[in-house]
Structure 1
């Protein structure tokens, strides 16, 4: 099983593999400049020339020029400290984008009713555990801890493979006096089981069979549900990403990867097909056909244990009609 941990930790063999909306050789720089051994968790050296070659072979000369500006040692290995500072800077800008897109509020809009359904269905008093997969700087976890919107019986945990990002997330949480924690490691190999898995901007990194494996790992866990936000694969997404990132992000790497992320976005059909694993009822909130392409940026794929669907819909109230299953897109999934 792959380790599903955070940006920069995706299996090398899956990079650039085309699926659906994604052009065949689109690569994100941040996925290439940090590499971690999936078994030991140790960071591996990355040669700048090899990254530049990969990007040029994919036809992305602009990305190659960005990487060519990154510092190396005498052997041509990227300076890990410089890379860490760069990624923290980029993720800080990404946090501002999340704030503008109100991702925290949109997540709570779904997680509040979801945890209500879990409490009523299981009858367990808690504590419950929310695990943010690929948490980066931990914006969502820290926001949830600040607002306490999910209740005091929900423990908040952010997980990422990148030690620098986890360290900065932990520093920010301590500075803000928040009750949450951050872990460097495998999100699906924690000592305590998750109740709900969440993520933002992670799904498009998984290509081919790895996307289904990601959902299968959650179905095989004791978790009751998952809720993963990612870019909606609309025709306007790449254009919108270019405009938005150009206006809001100063770092060339962040601008580049933001547009590539939009181009790599999975279609509704691809997500529902991959999430249709045994033991999970896959649901898409605000599918492409029912949303305004000028307003839709990110939308979530939700998975619940089958017995949770009815109480979850009831807790959602009139917004439940915005959540559809594979049968509503059956014509295009077949």
Structure 2
């Protein structure tokens, strides 16, 4: 049976417009029970509904903002911002050197949530003044809170409610953290194909590494750091849903994109590998990207090298 995250089920929006749709609690409970997850069904059964059995959207929004606020600790403790800059620095250096696109460049965070990553990048100015920071999410509540936090912190980044691939101005680089495991295999392929079909020069998506230890680590972290049962539940399920290295490279290897994994499972210490990125870039950029990356470039592995030991 497939495992389901509660947060994916208690909200629904039209993909193109982002317009919110009503969600009936009984239908969510039914889907969770069909998947064999009685614990998740009990969590949803405690959420408030109106007279027609539709989940209270304001209560759901408050819950998701609370859970995402706690989830920021995971990004902080795993130093995802620093890890991303370690890759994006050489990537933007390669884009600048190629001269195919002149700045300002646009970094778009897909499924930005509360915008922690972009707010960290803005606060540290890690990518330079010629990189515009834009976060996009289908949740109006999360985008609204991300915008409020950025304004309160006086940060130069902006947040948009909608589809990241329908922005009036195209991205130079797409990024995300903790998004890929939400996609089924067919949807994952479509996700990468949309980026290849766009004018973007590259993407860099961090997600949970599918190791045998991942669910145990997720259980320990979320038990220690998350207060709400929904956050604890979804944290473990997200690790169970993580895509393998092979599946990621297969989905990301699309025409016009050179896909590379950084620290794939077979070459990294499973006790230390919690998240890892998949990178895609236009083929002419690969040489200058590896050169700018230096010795660390040896840890980048393509689909044709996945089974080979790192040199």
Shorter-chain TM-score category? over 0.9
Q: 2:99 aligned with 1:160, yes or no?
A: no
Please give the alpha-carbon distance, in whole angstroms, between the structure 2 residues aligned to 1:82 and 1:313.
47
Which stretch shows the higher mean deviation, 231-240 or 40-49?
Answer: 40-49
Q: 2:147 aligned with 1:170, yes or no?
A: yes
Q: 2:103 aligned with 1:119, yes or no?
A: no
**Structure 2 match to 1:71:** 48
Q: Give the superposition deviation at 1:322.
A: 0.7
Residues 17, 162 of structure 2: 8 Å contact kept = no
Pairing of 1:237-276 with structure 2 (within 5 A): 237-276=214-253
SS in 1 for 2:40: helix
Residues 98, 285 of structure 2: 8 Å contact kept = yes
**Structure 2 match to 1:303:** 280
Please give the alpha-carbon distance, in whole angstroms, between the structure 2 residues aligned to 1:161 and 1:222.
22
**Structure 2 match to 1:216:** 193
Name which of 195, 203, 226 aligns with 2:172.
195
Q: Give the superposition deviation at 1:125.
A: 3.7
**Structure 2 match to 1:104:** 81
Q: 2:26 aligned with 1:29, yes or no?
A: no
Q: Give the superposition deviation at 1:74.
A: 1.1
SS in 1 for 2:142: helix
Name which of 310, 315, 333 aligns with 2:292.
315
Which stretches in structure 2 are left out of the alignment for 5+ residues? none
Q: Deviations over 1:169-201 (max 9, x none)?
A: 000000000111000011001000100000001
After the TM superposition, which parts of structure 1 deviate over 4 Å for at least 4 consecutive aligned residues? Answer: none
Residues 264, 306 of structure 2: 8 Å contact kept = no
Higher RCO (Cα < 8 Å, 6 or more apart): 1
SS in 1 for 2:134: strand
Please give the alpha-carbon distance, in whole angstroms, between the structure 1 residues aligned to 2:102 and 2:155.
23
Q: Give the superposition deviation at 1:124.
A: 4.2
Please give the alpha-carbon distance, in whole angstroms, between the structure 1 residues aligned to 2:45 and 2:261.
40
> Could you state the TM-score of these two structures normalised by the residue count of structure 2?
0.97
Name which of 189, 212, 216 aligns with 1:235.
212
**Structure 2 match to 1:54:** 31
RMSD, aligned α-carbons: 1.0
SS in 2 for 1:135: coil
Please give the alpha-carbon distance, in whole angstroms, between the structure 1 residues aligned to 2:151 and 2:176.
22
> Could you state the TM-score of these two structures normalised by the residue count of structure 1?
0.91
